[in-house]
Amino acid sequence: MSGRQLARLPSSWILLACIGLLALNLRGPFVAVAPVVGLMQVDLGFSPVMLGLLTSIPVLCFSLAAPLASLAARKFGAEFAVSLTILGVLAGVLVRSAGGPGLVVAGTVVIGLAITVGNIAVPLIIRRDFSPRRQGAAMGVYTAALNIGSFMTSVVTAPLAEAVGWRSALASAGVLAVAAIVFWVLAVGVRAAFHPEADGGGGEVRQAPVHGSAGITAGLTAGFAGQAFSYYAVTAWLPSYLNDELGMSASAAGAGSSLFQILAIVGGLGVPLVARSMSTTAVAVTLGALWTTVPAGLLIAPGLWWLWSSFGGVAQGGGITLIFIAIIKLARDQASAGRMSATVQGVGYCFAAVAPPLVGFVHDASGSWTAPLLMVLASVLTFFAATTLSVRKVPKVR
């Protein structure tokens, strides 16, 4: 599609499509490792710990590099930050597939740093360029696309690796990055995409500061930490639970756990719609109740795992959407939105990074899934309470 054809479309539609295409690149490149770890171990001689790090490194980057990513988005401008994200993902994907163990690790670090910039920049663009009435819907499309990217990658990578090898399968993620940068440049122009320009918030009408904003930031941080810990723990260990407790084969357990991923799309797109008729507090309570059914349900009625996975999928997709909506609605201006987002994501993803190894350690030490599920229950309840208390002042979408 040419720039002239794009010009005939409403600018908000073009921007929303670009955000969706960008989001497809923000989870898939590191999720792609899981389906091919066996092949990588044979070729590279990686230990199980190192293989686990290939998934954990990007999440650690999300945490440790979040303040730097927020600064980059402000100093260089959101448009340039998005270009850095896409080009960084493309470079990381290619480096990871190009050589031996050192390049695999280096490429993984580049992917993690690039995605961290995008994690911060996209909510800022949505806050700046969409009307308050459409910010929730735009955020829903963004989080839904994150999960679509994860699901697509999980489904496609293994069969592709069997056909062309794991290196080419992992490198194929670069196709989406190429498409994203092409559409981004057509949408915002070459100068905006590649010329750093500080985002000073010129012309922005500042909102009055929300009373108790420090407490709200702390609450959203705790809520995001509970959400992230629960999500990464369930994502990493649900297939093993289904195999151990219900005797499902590895392939069946993997396919069954995909319910938890794909139904996040319902939550991401559904929360902005439901928020038009319900208060944000009611939405948070509903999501918290749905999330709670995952650990509680697996403890009490494991045979209904498909129901708990479905409820949890809706909850995890809706939970991250609700927290990001709260950030862009409650922040006073772009700078404070960037700082709040960096704090919430920086701390939250720190908990996410430790979730899989910690849950695995507790399972090995206890010899059962009861203690790990109780840990997940505690983190879900943290999300439930902290998010519900923190979003009470988010204005209702009209």
For the stretch 211-228, pLDDT in tens is 557 889 999 999 999 999
For the stretch 358-387, pLDDT in tens is 998 899 899 999 999 999 999 999 999 999
Residue 397 pLDDT > 80, yes or no? no
Question: For the residues 132-144, what does the mean pLDDT come to?
Answer: 89
Contact status, residue 268 vs residue 318, Cβ threshold 8 Å: yes
Whole-angstrom CA distances from 367 to 244, 247, 303, 359 are 11, 16, 20, 12
Cα separation of 325 and 123, whole Å? 8
What is the secondary structure of 258-312 as a DSSP string?
HHHHHTHHHHHHHHHHHTTTS-HHHHHHHHHHHHHHHHHHHHH-GGGHHHHHHHH
Closest among 64, 88, 30, 115 to 342, alpha carbons compared: 64
Residue 208 pLDDT > 70, yes or no? no
Radius of gyration of the chain measured on its C-alpha atoms: 20
Cα separation of 58 and 231, whole Å? 15
Question: For the residues 6-15, what does the mean pLDDT come to?
Answer: 64
Contact status, residue 36 vs residue 170, Cβ threshold 8 Å: yes
For the stretch 78-117, pLDDT in tens is 899 999 999 999 999 999 998 888 999 999 999 999 999 9
Indicate the SS3 state at residue 143. helix
Place of tokens 């609605």: 329
Cα separation of 78 and 193, whole Å? 9
Calculate the average pLDDT of the chain. Answer: 87
Tokens representing residue 356 in the block: 């899989």
Model's pTM, two decimal places?
0.86
Contact status, residue 359 vs residue 366, Cβ threshold 8 Å: no
Contacts (Cβ under 8 Å, ≥6 apart) of 285: 384, 388
Cα separation of 75 and 2, whole Å? 30
DSSP secondary structure code for residue 36 in this structure: G
Tokens representing residue 27 in the block: 């989870």
Place of tokens 């108790």: 212
**Helix, strand, coil in percent for the chain, rounding step 5:** 85, 0, 15
Check residues 8 and 312 and name the one with the higher pLDDT.
312
Residue 205 pLDDT > 50, yes or no? no
Contacts (Cβ under 8 Å, ≥6 apart) of 10: none
DSSP secondary structure code for residue 165 in this structure: -
To the nearest 10 degrees (0 to 180), the angle between helices 66-76 and 334-366 is 160
Residue 202 pLDDT > 60, yes or no? no
| CA-CA-CA-CA torsion sign (5, 11, 17, 18) | positive
Give the pLDDT of residue 388.
96
